[in-house]
Structure 1
């Protein structure tokens, strides 16, 4: 094996340290061995056997509550005249160490934590205590788990280079003060690690439990269904029932895995209580496999030493296979980070001579974006709602137009109101014609109904311009919150200044229409045309009433005839019956029943028509004449003029009824003319006085208000959040660049 190949694991460890020191998480997806197993499966004992030290916390419930990233780093022996201390791993740490055993002693072994830089732990009891303390510091005291890992390095000449991640043990039932969803938390954390394609899964299962119930193998199969990156570890082989063994599992005949199963024997609880050393336990493990009748033939590929060697070789092979993917991943991350960094722009230097140019550029960009949003030429177009110029057009055409069309110009004028106005306009003398003064008095207040929707149109356009103001400028301007705030403030002041004159001008448009009533307008209906329409409608109504009356009379005649026939038929039938009662049965009475049904049908038809005409007449006599329509309902009022009570207890005369309807028709006609004019003039006024004025003035207003040298440094103070994000991106980019350099050193 080449030296370059042997250096792969240290290179990955170096990358791991670099990534966690700067970024805090493994964004590169580095190859590592993930240790998975249920509680009490012997997972901690396997790790301690690999290290050769007691350093992991022990106890009931979940002891491992944070991921433990464990880097085992092999260091060489140091020469000394003292005799060496033998260990079970001495045969596995390399030929050079073996040949120099006579003049070498075991170098000091120590541990280092990433969160305690610069300190070496020579006492592994302190290592266990620090793991417990840091777990409580991050995950709390309530037995809950936390995703933040603990990074631990162990330097020893008796370990092989390995990177292991110890995860919390799987549990199903919360015990004590464990969270109720502890199983869900644990499975989610484990899945987050083992689902990474560059990870190797070390699935630990106890041999004295049926393999089909192994939770670790179930989880591994979910992310590695082909078993290509899963290593099975069988613990507690010495605790199996007498006469049983796990040879079929270790041979791969029960649960096939590409990397196979490895059997180990850990220290028992009694061994731990009597402080049996790990060296003695490792020797006892070797003796167990060599002497067991079922395992003696495969003892060379069982035990902790073989597991360590297999993991070392597997991890190095895996790293070599994944190096191209890691390099590609790094290049992708570098490109993405570089792009994100560019989006934050260069940091602004206070007092720079380019500050004035930058402020001018940002103001120009804001003004251009504001105008483009109104004109519809902006590149940032919303796909979810109307905005900018499209929204303004919608206000003019739909909102404003609909509100105007819904106004009924005479809805608030009753018949009595119109009659009173007519009487008041004639004074003590009766008028020969419909008084024009009454029309003027009534139509002017109705024109004022156009004012509220017109003012609302102005307000809606103003609100849309304010909305455009708050969405312009883009990401670059958001870097400088003070400048952005000042720009919005200046433009808002400009819009508020224009709101008053625009509103007053629109108000004056309504006042102008009320100031002079042009009865000579070519579209105005006029008194003559209105009177002709009323009379024509009245004649049509009377004609319909006469036709209905004649139909009723014909029905009455027909009904009387049918009733007479029925009476005669009954007499004849009675006489015939008396004469023939002695000789034959009575004749059938079908004709008589048919005549009765026909008479009943006619009676019902007559009654329905009478009720219909009566109801229609009642409705016509009691209803007020409604606004702008020329319907038969308005005309029907003229046929029932005698039933409307006057203001002083009298009824409206025929002439008053005619005059009232005439005034109503004239108001509706003239109001339609004014409405059409206002619907045309108000949008034009708003565009000229508010929208276009703002577009033309925004650039000059921004420059005159903000382009002042004494304000440059204040306006260009960068947002602290953006500055932090830029620093984070710069840090990540340096990390990825350094990681790429480290990987490129490996041939």
Structure 2
């Protein structure tokens, strides 16, 4: 049973490596986390537990990244001691050839049979697997370099941890986390919000229910001012998972002691307080061995008049044993919850893995089939987006095939209707083209050659809207391409990026040929003008419309004269056959109303004459030039003499009824 409990911490350490490597934050593992202000002695406590001087020291913030320290107890006969590391295996060592460790042992006067403790203590970093650091000075340098690599060379901090494993026969299995010390005022090149950053980083660790808090407070400072206990109380108000550690007991004022605190009378904690004595700065400067420092600490508690009664429950040795026992018990209590959480995460991971395809895929052919399947799904999604069968249909805007239909049916149609068919075409241009196409002979009808010459440039106006239509459709297809992707394809971001890139390049290549094809369609209509089309009016139909229009105008001109003659004859007859005063008044009223109607018709006649330009020297219209005009509309039966040809003024311009434009 004891052996089974001892194996719990190494198992949790392996899980911790997985969590650190995969950045799996959902799994809350039991940890011992140190919390304290700057210069409270956190680093000294950890070094006393390890028995080696390996942590960086200096002024200001030294610990700027969380250090996850895993202590692993090894015996001289363990396989880890003689195991060849991966780095040495890469060197291609032959059987019987000495390893790097053998050379190091011999250099320090040790032999494989007589180890003298050398080679049993080393450190390994998770970011440099397989490389062993037998010199703890090199471990300190690597911590400094790795801190500077991530957090920079200034005094900023980073939440990315450093994982360090220390193998030694002199340590107990523990997992500790060293966090930056609490500070109040930023100094030198520290960030202005350094206090908030450090506090948030510490709370990120100690807020987890499986974390055991090591609240380190210096004994030479009043306990009510302890920042570590204040912060621990925020997340653990009942003190169930907080261990109080009093450091620097030898620096208290003479005549004072911390016996009441250590016995739990001042600030009760379920896990209690433990007192330790750290090395002084002079001991660190003179490189006093830690073994001697631990012996001096033990002598201090045994000889101190106040602490000798509790000397067995003070010191670094007791602290290490207590932490080991607390951590094992804590792991045993939390093991069912950890196992259930692991099973849940494993089930979710297996389901996610199943979406990648068959897990037994080993050959390149099978990988190719998966890629082909993903490409087919991409193509199906692209087609569904155009046909409107996609499951992700937007309700906010038009997209896919609906957007393309809108471009063709609305945008292009509106652009074509807005084109003025006689843009930059004047009456002078028409007359000049007609005269040039007739040669030396006058022409009764408009020559077909002149019609082609005038119409072809106008057909060219269709190219602008057509090009814009092609560009809009291309942009919509590119948008579909970037938004098109299945859930399985999104799990392969590089494949998805490459697939979108290839399809985009294909669309970009087809943009030019499509534009040229549209231009060729317009050129076809310019090359052959289909006058047999039902929508084409033709010369006969145009003449019929003109004749009907002239008849309507002539009827309006003749109506007032006929009405006037009829009224005169009617009045003459009624004046002879009718007598009486009343009758005379009645006839006068009727004649007056009838004359009013005649006057109105005469006024409309004058307006028609003015509109036709046949009176008062008005301008000649295009149709009057070709089909003649009436100088005196009041005498329609009189034969008009033909007038000689004369060119119009330069200001004369054709006027057509164009949809969307107001007639001038």
Once the 2 structures are TM-superposed, how far is the Cα of residue 266 of structure 1 from its aligned partner? 2.7
Q: Is the 8 A contact 1:638 1:658 kept in 2?
A: no
Aligned to 1:113, which of 110, 124, 133? 124
Alpha-carbon separation, structure 2, partners of 1:339 and 1:386: 35
1:207-243 deviations in Å (ceiling 9; x for gaps):
3334454333444345445544332322233433456
RMSD: 5.4
1:321-356 deviations in Å (ceiling 9; x for gaps):
22223223323333343344445546976674x688
Aligned to 1:135, which of 144, 155, 161? 144
Alpha-carbon separation, structure 2, partners of 1:497 and 1:316: 74
1:16 aligns with 2:16: yes
Alpha-carbon separation, structure 2, partners of 1:535 and 1:301: 129
Runs of 5+ unmatched residues, structure 2:
78-115, 557-606, 628-651
Once the 2 structures are TM-superposed, how far is the Cα of residue 133 of structure 1 from its aligned partner? 3.6
Closer/same/farther in 2, CA of residues 61 and 483 from structure 1, 3 Å limit: closer
1:149 aligns with 2:162: yes
Once the 2 structures are TM-superposed, how far is the Cα of residue 527 of structure 1 from its aligned partner? 4.4
1:331 aligns with 2:343: yes
Closer/same/farther in 2, CA of residues 212 and 639 from structure 1, 3 Å limit: farther
2:618 is matched with 653
1:204 is matched with 216
1:667 aligns with 2:656: yes
Alpha-carbon separation, structure 1, partners of 2:373 and 2:551: 70
2:329 is matched with 317
Q: Is the 8 A contact 1:439 1:667 kept in 2?
A: no
Alpha-carbon separation, structure 1, partners of 2:206 and 2:137: 25
Secondary structure at the counterpart of residue 301 of structure 2: helix
Closer/same/farther in 2, CA of residues 513 and 317 from structure 1, 3 Å limit: farther
Larger helix proportion of the pair: 1
Greater relative contact order (Cα 8 A, min sep 6): structure 1 or 2?
Answer: 1
Closer/same/farther in 2, CA of residues 534 and 189 from structure 1, 3 Å limit: farther
Under a length normalisation based on structure 1, what TM-score does the superposition of the two structures give? 0.56
Closer/same/farther in 2, CA of residues 44 and 456 from structure 1, 3 Å limit: closer
Alpha-carbon separation, structure 2, partners of 1:408 and 1:256: 93
Q: Is the 8 A contact 1:266 1:281 kept in 2?
A: no
Alpha-carbon separation, structure 2, partners of 1:316 and 1:268: 32
Alpha-carbon separation, structure 1, partners of 2:555 and 2:148: 92
Q: Which moved more, 1:174-183 or 1:196-205?
A: 174-183
Once the 2 structures are TM-superposed, how far is the Cα of residue 488 of structure 1 from its aligned partner? 6.9
Q: Is the 8 A contact 1:455 1:506 kept in 2?
A: no
1:519 is matched with 537
1:557-601 deviations in Å (ceiling 9; x for gaps):
xxxxxxxxxxxxxxxxxxxxxxxxxxxxxxxxxxxxxxxxxxxxx
Under a length normalisation based on structure 2, what TM-score does the superposition of the two structures give? 0.62
1:504 is matched with 520
1:278 is matched with 293
Secondary structure at the counterpart of residue 144 of structure 2: helix
Aligned to 2:427, which of 418, 425, 428? 418
Closer/same/farther in 2, CA of residues 406 and 310 from structure 1, 3 Å limit: farther
Alignment of 1:724-739 (within 5 A): none
Once the 2 structures are TM-superposed, how far is the Cα of residue 286 of structure 1 from its aligned partner? 2.1
1:229 is matched with 241
Alpha-carbon separation, structure 1, partners of 2:266 and 2:547: 108
Closer/same/farther in 2, CA of residues 231 and 407 from structure 1, 3 Å limit: farther
Alignment of 1:636-647 (within 5 A): none
Alpha-carbon separation, structure 1, partners of 2:52 and 2:364: 60
Alpha-carbon separation, structure 2, partners of 1:176 and 1:493: 58
Closer/same/farther in 2, CA of residues 193 and 510 from structure 1, 3 Å limit: farther
2:472 is matched with 460
Once the 2 structures are TM-superposed, how far is the Cα of residue 5 of structure 1 from its aligned partner? 3.3
Alpha-carbon separation, structure 2, partners of 1:326 and 1:521: 94
Secondary structure at the counterpart of residue 291 of structure 1: coil
1:626 is matched with none
2:48 is matched with 49
Closer/same/farther in 2, CA of residues 528 and 442 from structure 1, 3 Å limit: farther
Alpha-carbon separation, structure 1, partners of 2:550 and 2:258: 113
Alpha-carbon separation, structure 2, partners of 1:168 and 1:490: 55
Runs of 5+ unmatched residues, structure 1:
79-105, 538-634, 643-650, 673-747
Q: Is the 8 A contact 1:174 1:180 kept in 2?
A: yes
Q: Is the 8 A contact 1:442 1:667 kept in 2?
A: no
Once the 2 structures are TM-superposed, how far is the Cα of residue 27 of structure 1 from its aligned partner? 6.9
Secondary structure at the counterpart of residue 280 of structure 1: helix
Once the 2 structures are TM-superposed, how far is the Cα of residue 12 of structure 1 from its aligned partner? 1.8
Closer/same/farther in 2, CA of residues 358 and 65 from structure 1, 3 Å limit: closer
1:4 is matched with 4
1:86-141 deviations in Å (ceiling 9; x for gaps):
xxxxxxxxxxxxxxxxxxxx9886233244747474xxxx3144222442255258
Alignment of 1:237-252 (within 5 A): 237-241=249-253, 246=258, 249-250=261-262
Alpha-carbon separation, structure 2, partners of 1:286 and 1:480: 67
1:189-208 deviations in Å (ceiling 9; x for gaps):
43443344322221212233
Alpha-carbon separation, structure 2, partners of 1:23 and 1:179: 30
Once the 2 structures are TM-superposed, how far is the Cα of residue 389 of structure 1 from its aligned partner? 0.9
